[in-house]
Amino acid sequence: MRFHQHLDETFSYTEELNSLDKFLSLLDPDIVEQAFEVSGVATLRRRRLPLEAVVLLVIGMSLYRNETVWDIASKLDISLPGKKLLVAPSALVQARQRLGYEAVRQVFEALSQRTFETKSFEQWCGLNLLAVDGVVYRAQDTHENIEAFGCEKNVHGESPYPQIRMCCLMEVSSHLLLASEFDARHVGEMKLAERLLKHVPANSLTLFDRGYYSLGLLNLWHQSADNAHWMLPARKDLQYEVIHQLSEHDAVVTLPTSPQARKKFCDLPDKITARLTSYQVNGKQYRVLSSLTDPLRYPYDELTEVYTQRWEIELGFKEMKQGLHQAKHALRSKKPDMVKQELWGLLLAYNLVRMVMIDATEDTPDLTPTRLSFTLSMRQVVTFFITVTTRSASKLPEHYAYLLDTLRLCVLPDKRPDRVYPRAVRAKPSKYPKKKNASQLN
């Protein structure tokens, strides 16, 4: 059911609503209530700041990155009527602590799963294309955050900013986040990727970076769901044995596993069967490993083009850090639990914007969600929550339909096929002003 149809049924009897009502209609109150019960924060007491309102506040912290928490609560009008017009800042802090981070995580995971199951996405050879990669966020320089997350060490000591390492699973055709795991900076991406195994959907192909080469992880990934496959670039020193040569540049091979890997992964066999494919792009040779060993179902000509989609997750990280996070140096929360809550709120806010972008392109075959500007779409969604009148609930579906029409105008320019971005090491900036020469002084 389309969102505006759901709103038409939900608000057909309502005369007045606020931002919280709009938010719960988009998010589905059943998901929020179930998340509260699973996390153990559900309560029968009716407060002026209910838990549903606090979830919206946490999401608003990402949508309004340059505003204070108190200003966000005032703009969104999330509190219930009371003796005082506005709630005190201390009440917002206590409300966030009462909510915790596990409830926001449960809301994010339930919403991601429902969206992936109910929406249709582009497929490759009958498989949904996914990608896994890692990203790092900085937290505020407090003693609690340093103890919980740790700092990056360098030759001059430790960095003053604690760091959180995150690993995400993303659907590449829409940039929708399916799952995410994060922990202290000393926890590696391989460990975080193992925690994503329970979220791997059936009939999917996951694209990994070269650094995720672990036969134990790849074997578990292939067994985690029905028809779940993986692909990643082959190492230069790859050791393998050809068991069936499909063509000159395509072969089914066996990869030997090490005793250390078999000790760590109990079900890991002595050898793993995989497919080694090589191809050339602009005269440069590339090789990829995959679990797609069936050459009839996954032909060579299509296999050589699919791995380029892995870059989409990098663009998704850019949208989160530069779009939602406004390229800020660090998160705003000062305690570890609130840092985790803020991160889950950021991921939830990102997916909510992506959901609206998916709705906007659902009936337009020539337009995909990734062709829309995330920054412009996010601004339109924020405007929708603030400016849509709260006295005309029956017209809310019309306002949402207008929002979708507006998002369809936020199309990005066509990509330039001849544009290249060579890797380069940036020069370290100097804290001293550059000395001017004689010609510049005259």
Collapsing DSSP to helix, strand or coil, 160 comes out as strand
Residue 348 contacts residue 179 (beta carbons within 8 Å): no
Please state, in angstroms and rounded to a whole number, the distance separating the CA atoms of residues 179 and 112: 7
CA angle, residues 55, 321, 418, in degrees to nearest 5: 140
Please state, in angstroms and rounded to a whole number, the distance separating the CA atoms of residues 108 and 92: 21
Residue 168 contacts residue 312 (beta carbons within 8 Å): no
Residue 216 contacts residue 260 (beta carbons within 8 Å): no
Residue 131 contacts residue 313 (beta carbons within 8 Å): yes
Please state, in angstroms and rounded to a whole number, the distance separating the CA atoms of residues 151 and 302: 43
Q: What tens-digit pLDDT sequence spans the chain (442 residues)?
A: 444 444 444 333 333 445 556 566 567 778 888 888 888 887 655 666 788 888 888 998 998 888 888 888 887 776 655 545 567 788 888 989 999 999 999 999 999 999 999 999 999 999 999 999 999 999 999 999 999 999 877 766 667 789 999 999 999 999 999 999 999 999 999 999 999 999 999 999 999 999 999 999 999 999 999 999 999 999 988 999 999 999 999 999 999 999 999 999 988 999 999 999 999 887 888 999 999 999 999 999 888 889 989 999 999 999 999 989 888 889 999 999 999 999 999 999 999 999 999 999 998 888 999 999 999 999 998 888 777 654 455 677 787 888 899 999 999 988 777 677 677 777 776 766 666 555 555 4
C-alpha dihedral over 232, 237, 240, 242, to 10 degrees? 90
Collapsing DSSP to helix, strand or coil, 130 comes out as strand
Residues in the chain: 442
Please state, in angstroms and rounded to a whole number, the distance separating the CA atoms of residues 206 and 172: 10
Please state, in angstroms and rounded to a whole number, the distance separating the CA atoms of residues 209 and 244: 26
Phi-psi region of 227 (alpha: psi -120 to 50; beta: other; left: phi over 0): left
Give the pTM.
0.87
